Amino acid sequence: MLRIDCPYCGRRAQAEFAFERALDAVLPLDATPEAAVQTLYARTNPKGWTWELWRHTAGCGAWLRLHRHSVSHEIAAVHTVADT
Amino acid sequence: MTRYSTLGLLRAGLSNHRNWPRAWRDPTPKPRYDVIVIGGGGHGLATAYNLAKQHGVRSVAVLERGWIGGGNTGRNTTIVRSNYRQPQLQRLLEYSLKLWEGMTDELNYNVMFSQRGAVFLGHSDADITQLAQRGDALRAQGIDADLMSRAEIARLIPPLDMSPDARFPVFGGLIQRRGGTARHDAVAWGYARAADALGVDIIQNCEVVGFTMKGGRVAGVETTKGAIGADRIGICVAGHSGQVAALAGLKLPIESHLLQAFVSEPVKPMIDTVIMSQSIHCYISQSDKGEVVLGGDPDGYPTYSQRGVPMRLEDVASQAIALVPALSRLRMLRSWAGTTDMSFDGSPILGETPVDGLYLNGGWCYGGFKATPGSGKLFAHHLATGEAHEIAAPFSLDRFARGATIDETGSGPRAQDR
């Protein structure tokens, strides 16, 4: 099980979190139809390091940016979406 | 190819079964083939078999990174059925189910296809309404479906918890009597042997690391065993579709997730049908060896690790025990995880890619095993004729851009999480 360091709640079990989508699949509200198709459906699906959007659903509810490895499951960074 | 038969089995017994010939050759790759199929799983092997058998295309190579039977074909809960929701998927899976019914004879290999019935349980009035609606839709397509009362379910599956305080009360169910299970690795081995007998070269330990292009179309592959040329190339590598497509510069509406399955110690026969519940998402069946096979939700996030989280074992075990309390006495023997090609509408992708000569068979989510024979036959049709079979046509890759998705799970543009 992953253990994710929520910036607000500390280290919590994966069961409290939900994967939302890859970070590059976040659709701008003013995207053209072509850009929307590209953003939503053209996935790089990386085997290795990836940036993702997760949510602490059963905790504080925060939206989080995770830097995670899709083979080793190592998590290198957890940021809030506001924190750039 | 030596035909397998009862007499042959007896004869081989005279020499203590020491002299069986190998089931398929181990050829070195030729410089070129008419068609290359990337991926030696059930779908890839069935594609190669049908290219040779149905279309007379004998110059075919199947390139497998690992070994035959080592991938997703052997990493599922072996359930075969065609009672899906969307009409396009119903047609595809029913086409496949009819092929399952003749597979053992056709391949001369016992895939132990057992039509023991597959039952969806309903746990509320709303569930029963949904199941009745699904049953009507299936029957309108000519697919068998029977709504069952609570009393009929109790007779069919005696160990179910039917007590008044059951955690998941059973209101009734919907059965597909022609559904069932098969021995999954036998499917890979059977197709491999039958394809090999028709002249298909099955090349194991051969990973594709790049494509060669010529005049804007694909002309072959670079592999760990050297370059191999081909006119047409089919990708059948579900779990890694995105990785192989990326070698040709493509991005697909697919994410790789993971689905686990669990097997108990073997016990005497106690469940002679496939128990499924979609409102709690749990699958229970008993293998011919006596092991109880359990499945549930995918792990829900992108991973290529083939290692599941223990959290899911707890979920699945607690649901299964709530449905069939006697299972609480069993010890789990082993578990495994398969990398699933989660497409962004819950339906597979079959057909052309934007690269000329390169075709894709993937995006099966966690439901590809049941489609193996149909998928192979339809994909072979496309590779041999250059035209999509009418059953496969709705599953083209361009459906996402056209807004013509086949949204089996209603999940919208993302991988389904259950």
Q: How far is B44 from chain A (nearest CA, A)?
A: 22
Q: Name every chain B residue with its beta carbon within 8 A of the beta carbon of A73.
A: 303, 305, 307
Distance, first Cα to last Cα, chain B: 43
Q: Locate the chain B residue with the closest alpha carbon to A36.
A: B401
Interval B238-272: pLDDT, tens: 999 999 999 999 999 999 999 999 999 999 999 99
| Nearest residue to B357 via CA among B381, B377, B386 | B386
**AA identity, residue B6:** T
pLDDT at B386 over 70: yes
Interval B179-211: pLDDT, tens: 999 999 999 999 999 999 999 999 999 999 999
Predicted confidence at residue A84, as pLDDT, reads 63
With a pLDDT cut of 70, the percent of chain B lying above it is 100
Interval A16-44: pLDDT, tens: 999 999 999 989 899 999 999 999 999 99
DSSP B335: E
Give the distance from CA B59 to its chain's centroid: 26
Q: Do A50 and B311 touch (CB under 8 A)?
A: no
Q: Of the candidates B240, B309, B400, which has its C-beta nearest A37's C-beta? A: B400
DSSP A58: T
Q: A77: Cβ–Cβ under 8 A, 6 or more apart, which residues?
A: A65, A66, A67
Q: Of the candidates B253, B254, B305, which has its C-beta nearest A73's C-beta? A: B305
Averaged pLDDT, B372-397: 98
pLDDT at B414 over 90: no
The ipTM, to two decimals, is 0.94
Interval B58-112: pLDDT, tens: 999 999 999 999 999 999 999 999 999 999 999 999 999 999 999 999 999 999 9
Q: Locate the chain B residue with the closest alpha carbon to A13.
A: B311
Q: B312: Cβ–Cβ under 8 A, 6 or more apart, which residues?
A: B260, B296, B297, B299
Q: B55: Cβ–Cβ under 8 A, 6 or more apart, which residues?
A: B380, B381, B384, B385
Q: Do A37 and B401 touch (CB under 8 A)?
A: yes
Predicted confidence at residue A18, as pLDDT, reads 95
A39 touches B at CB < 8 Å: no
Q: A14: Cβ–Cβ under 8 A, 6 or more apart, which residues?
A: A1, A2, A3, A4, B309, B311
A43 touches B at CB < 8 Å: yes
Spatial distance between the Cα atoms of B25 and B141, rounded to a whole number of angstroms: 42
Predicted confidence at residue B39, as pLDDT, reads 98
Q: Of the candidates A13, A45, A73, which has its C-beta nearest B254's C-beta? A: A45
| Nearest residue to A23 via CA among A60, A55, A58, A50 | A50
**Beta-bridge mates of residue B211:** B221
Interval B106-153: pLDDT, tens: 999 999 999 999 999 999 999 999 999 999 999 999 999 999 999 999
